[in-house]
Structure formats: structure tokens, C-alpha cells
Amino acid sequence: MSLYAKRGVSAQKEEVHQAIKNLEQGLYPYAFCKMYADYLGGDENFVNISHADGAGTKSILAYLYWKETGDVSVWKGIAQDAVAMNIDDLLCVGVTDNFLFSSTIDRNKNRISGEVLEAIINGTQEFFNDLKKFDINIHYLGGETADVGDIVRTIAVNGTITARWQKNKLITNDKIDAGNVIVGFASFGKAVYENTYNSGLGSNGLTSARHDVLNKMHAEKYPETFENSLSDDVVYIGKNKLEDTLEIDNTKHTIGKLLLSPTRTYAPLMKVLLDEFYCEINGIIHCSGGGQTKCMKYLPKPLQVVKNNLFDIPPIFKLIQENSKADFKEMYQVFNMGHRMEIFTNEKTAEQIIKISNSFGIEAKIIGYTNSSEQKELILKGSFGEICY
């Protein structure tokens, strides 16, 4: 059993998929988000989309950092995580404007102060203001903030995003076919709309990242940050402290800040790409939960996906693997490992997309291709060898 599973987490969410198997799948079963008839407007040319996601256990890292340093500004990053994990899913179906966002914050009032709530709520609006500069309009509808200390040890920061979008501008993944190339967009580095280096970690796999990298001191000092029924051999098993440093491109970064890098949103870039190349984009995948295997769920037919030109593994993922000793198959299934968004298209369009991405300070390249196959299959190739899913 993997360390991830031993900690009570599933990269593939098998039990969740089993629980929802009888629910309606929406108008487009292979689209990245469920879409329904336009119940809000009653127009057959539009669809309604509602989606929920959040910062996950990254909020526990923020709690640790805040308690250790007193730096309340770290919670603004958690606000961005909760929004980016929602908005970037909707980007995958073509939505780029007029989002409605409602936040859900559950806290343990004895541990999370009003100052933290204020930082999260104001940070959410500040992030919306930043995106508005790129003509991406997100309307903050408020939400629910609940004191549920009997349920939540520290805090959970989540949100729901809703949109009404025209059918002739949707990406449903039905056009993904043999002969496509896949453009991957780096999750790490510094985009022109980011203030600091982004480690690329995002908001997936943070249970493993936290426990694999940080040492036992954190368990002893902050027992509220983990499920105390877990076996001791999977709780904070790493060698590092939050203030330890890692040098990247001749600059030292603290481990805490690398783990807490706000989830990059691709919205400013994707708005341009969808406006310019909508007809040439066959499918879009957000490599979130499930990492590089995420695409398998959204293939509209049996295809072989080969990813043979992946990004060099960013330092944060190397650090996690060094601490955990996890094999590459698990790492690529839990983490994005270097790119968190990918577009299926043709080779000519791919070249133009890559140039535009580079202008945003986001490295992009063709990371793979699709072949005809009798079954859905994913093959990863690299210095680690070959991995099949």
C-alpha cells in the first residue's frame, strides 16, 4: 500500500466515483466539468456549469507557517488556491469570463482567529481584482463561514463557481483523437502575472507533501494538524523544517514558501488561447487530482496517450521524492510533476500556442501525442524509464 493510501487519501478517488456512478453525467460526458441545460436562462444555446473545489490540506501548511512565523499574509495564498482550483477546471470547458464565486470556510474558532478569516476573504477579492486586469471577471457572491470545531481541527477553505456559457464556445473533449499532439504548460517558474517564483506544487498531493517533507517536530508541536489515528510511520516522516532553505537558480527559498506557493491559475493565458484558437483546440485537461494520469478519465474513445517529452522535474517534487522514497509511478499519479494544464491540438497550432505561452512567462512545449488503440492507455517515458497506466 502506498504512503498516500496509508494516510487515508486516494489519488484516483475510486470510492467517490463509485458513490456518484448513478448520478446524471451532464450533457457532455467527456467534458472536464459537468454541464447542464440552461435552467437559469432557458436558452437552448447556452449551458449552466457549477463546480466545487478548494485548497485541500494545503490550509494545514498555512496554519503551521502562520503559527511558526506569525505571518498572516500566507492565508492570501490559500484564498488563491481555492479560487484557482475552481476556475482552472472551468477553463478546461472553455469558460473564461463572468464567473460567480461563493466561498465556504469551516474553521475551529479556538485555533483560527478572525484575522485569518479577514486575510482569506480579502485575499479572495484581491485575487479577483488581479484577474480583472486580464479581462477575467469573477463576481464574489459571499458564501458560508461556519465555526465547526467539533468537525474541523483547524480550517477548510473551499468554494463553488458557477457560469452560464454559450454552447458554440464549449470544449467538450469529444474532438480528442489519434494524431493529436499535447501541449503542456509549466506549473513552475514565474509567470508575468505572478510576484514570486512558483514551485509548481499546486493544491494536489499536499497530504503527502506535508508529511513526507516535514519532520516529527511538527507532529509533537502541532498534533491538531494530523489525524491522530494514523500510524506514526506515515506522520511527518521528512527531514526538513519550514524555515530550511532550498536553492533554485541561485536563489534560496524556504521549504515553507515552496510548499505554499499559491496555485498558478492559467486564466490570463487560456483566455487568449481560447479566443484565438478555439476551433483548433480538441481538448483541455487540468492535471489536478490524479496528476499526469488525469487525462485518462476524459478520453472520448480508446486511445493510447504517450507523454515522452515531459518537463524536467521541478525541485519541490524531487525534494518530496527524496524524503518519501516513493517510486516514479506513484509520484506521477499523485503530483503534476511539472505541468498542470495540457491542450490536445494539431502540431501547427501547438507551435503558435507555445509562443504565446512563452510571452506570459510560462514555459510550454509538446509533451506527447495520441495514437489509435483498442483500449485507453497512458505511457510516460523519461529518464526514469517507461511507466504504463
Q: What is the pLDDT of residues 274-301, one digit of tens each?
A: 999 999 999 999 999 999 999 999 999 9
Poorest-confidence range of 18-27, 322-331, 337-346? 18-27
Number of domains in the chain: 1
Residue at 234 is within a domain: no
Residue at 284 is within a domain: yes
Global pTM value: 0.93
Residue at 137 is within a domain: yes
Band of residue 339 on the pLDDT scale cut at 50, 70, 90: very high
| Mean per-residue pLDDT of the chain | 95
pLDDT in tens, 239-248: 999 999 999 9
Residue at 166 is within a domain: yes
- Residue 43: phi, psi to the nearest 5? -105, 120
Range 356-374 average pLDDT: 98
Residue at 381 is within a domain: yes
Alpha helices in 231-334 (DSSP H): 255-259, 267-277, 315-324, 328-334
Buried b (16+ CB within 10 A) or exposed e, 89-124: bbbbbbbbeebebbbbbbbbeebbeeebbebbbebb
Residue at 227 is within a domain: no
Strands across the sheet containing 155-166: 35-37, 46-54, 155-166, 99-107, 138-147
Distance CA 231, CA 145 (A): 32
Range of the domain at 360: 3-196+261-388
Residue at 230 is within a domain: no
CA atoms within 13 A on the CB side of 229: 2
List the CATH number of the domain containing 135: 3.30.1330.10
Specify the pairing of strand 339-345 against strand 46-54.
unpaired
